[in-house]
Amino acid sequence: MATPGPRRILAILSALTAAAGLTLTAAHPSAAAGAVTATCTKTSDWGTGFEGSCTISNGTSAAISSWRLEGDLPSGTAITAAWNTTQTHSGNHYTFANASWNGTVAAGASTSFGFDGSGTGWFSGCTVNGAACDGSGNPPGGDTQAPTAPSGLKSTGKTDTTVSLSWTASTDNVGVTGYDVYQGSAKATSVTGTSATVTGLTAKTAYSFSVKARDAAGNVSGASNAVSVTTNDSGGGNPPGGTKVMGYFTDWGIYQRNYHVRNIDTSGTASKLTTINYAFGNVTNGQCAVGDGYADYDRFYGAGESVDGTSDSWDNGALRGSFHQLQELKKKYPNIKVVWSFGGWTWSGGFTQAAQNPAAFADSCYKLLNDPRWAGLFDGIDIDWEYPNACGLSCDTSGFASFRNLLSAVRSRFGSSQIVTAAITADATSGGKMDAADYAGAAQYVDWYNVMTYDYFGAWDAKGPTAPHSPLTTYDGIPIKEFNSTDTIAKLKGLGIPSGKLLLGIGFYGRGWTGVTQKAPGGTATGPAAGTYEQGIEDYRVIKGKCPATSVVAGTAYGLCGTEWWSYDTPSTIAGKMSYAKSQGLGGAFFWEMSGDTDNGELVTAVRSGLG
């Protein structure tokens, strides 16, 4: 659901590349004096894909406050992930802009970002801040033309202390590098994209906002139209927190993990749940489809492994598999709702086609959930699109409104009596995944969002720095400041999404590195630690004994065991996160996923006890 996919194999591939003695050449000439330049290289290449990095060098005599690198990839080559940058693309034209923390580059200094790609090609037509990456295209005498003024400024959401804004992009003869948002005559914040959230405001107060664009040479546009917004009444603080507890059950868990629906009962988990998300259904040909027919409705369960103690039937047309077991579980626990989740990390690529005809997609899903073979089992649908108008395992360019349009069609088809939810990004960076799609507009169509507040950091960054994968708050030295649950929830609430529609995500697993000598976060590593099913990740039920946590940072536990560094949530840290969820008036919490817990459900017990 939230596994970073391609980057998890980089350590192995990098090692193979080094062993083979390959030389990877730079794609662009070296930096030219007196200009802002960029050099991009392949740091690893395994034939069907690559890892790359770009270094932006400021050869001028003054600091720059932002940067923007663009280039084209040939057909069949694509960027699949990027870090230390905000990345967008239109077709094969890719744009990389600075993140919120690395836009300022002092005179004579440099900064870098990295990325993963698929295919064999490489960039052409590289430009940085509108000029050729080798410095040859910098205009003589410098750029003196200011960008056009931003237009269409509007408010997209507000709370008692925040206002969210969006506007239409400016144009420039070289290139716009950023925008300054003004609260009255004072600068409130600076961003690289065309949306921003102003924080720290006073409840029930009127404010006036405007925006100006700037380019790399420091030229500033005229002001946009002004918009007046009055913040909400505080209403005495956040509403009381909700008590929803949703857990994911994976269809593949019945294989190596040997985790079946019966285990939900015997572990005590069922009595603590309000909702089960069954993962995953496929999204293909613009439609919902079965993910694993054998696991879902065909696998035979004998009396000893079934929920109700009776064997499945071999009669033609008889329902077997996890679907039948879930029917029996619902009979025993009639309060539990079962939701079928579609997409996930592996199958989210299918949403691009689905977004072209949302009504047809929604109709296919409705018919599948209500198939006569299992009619009445499912109480609703979960859309796990990773990620609309952004990149996960694959990249989507269906547009800012695609997510809202898709969920609108789903709600229309399923009606008000069925549950409609969505798993969404936790990327709160300016210009990041949360800014790429209309999560605020789509919120009206869902009962709640499952906010994936985990997998912020992991050993896909093979050399570190080590960092907890699910920090509740920021901390000194965190690799990306906004990668924490508190900033994520604050940004979503700032978009105007009701707190009761947000569920805090908890990972029932740990992430780890090997080759680590430093106990505190921030240490270097040589690669991902060994895991039972996948490098760099291990279920809680295993990791609690393999590497007991000895310390806590930002509300998440961690430990150094030999040369392996692991971070994960424990019953104690989950209690802290549930206290936070209640204080914010969130709708509750969810977890990924059930088979990672102990046989007696230590973690789900902590979730339920913490929420009350």
Q: Determine the Cα–Cα distance for residues 288 and 360; give it in Å rounded to an integer.
A: 10
For the chain, helix (H) and strand (E) counts, in that order, are 14, 31
Terminal Cα-to-Cα distance of the chain (whole angstroms): 27
CA 504 to chain centre: 13
Instruction: Identify the residue whose tokens are 């995500």.
Output: 505
Bridge partner list, 246 = 275, 590
Backbone angles phi, psi at 187, to 5 degrees: -70, 125
Backbone angles phi, psi at 54, to 5 degrees: -130, 140
From 70, 386, 538, 602, active-site residue: 386
* Coil, helix or strand at residue 52: strand
**Strand 163-168 with 176-183, pairing:** unpaired
Bridge partner list, 39 = 55
Find the helix or strand (DSSP H, E) in which 433 lies: helix 433-436
Report yes or no: 116 and 81 within 8 Å, Cβ to Cβ.
yes
Instruction: Identify the residue whose tokens are 């799609």.
Output: 437
Instruction: Identify the residue whose tokens are 């295919």.
Output: 119
Active site residue 386: yes
Q: Determine the Cα–Cα distance for residues 340 and 420; give it in Å rounded to an integer.
A: 10
Instruction: Identify the residue whose tokens are 């969130």.
Output: 586
Q: Determine the Cα–Cα distance for residues 285 and 326; give it in Å rounded to an integer.
A: 28
Instruction: Identify the residue whose tokens are 């914010």.
Output: 584
Residue type at 193 in one-letter notation: G
Q: Determine the Cα–Cα distance for residues 334 and 586; give it in Å rounded to an integer.
A: 24
Report yes or no: 486 and 584 within 8 Å, Cβ to Cβ.
no
Residue type at 392 in one-letter notation: G
420-442 burial string, b = 16+ CB within 10 Å, else e?
bbbbbbbbbbbbbbbbbbbbbbb
Cα separations in angstroms, 507 against 382, 504, 571:
18, 10, 12
**Per residue, what are the HEC states of 510-561?**
EEEEECCCCCCCCCCCCEECCCCCECCEEEHHHHHHHCCCCEEECCEEEEEE
Residue type at 259 in one-letter notation: Y
Catalytic residues: 386
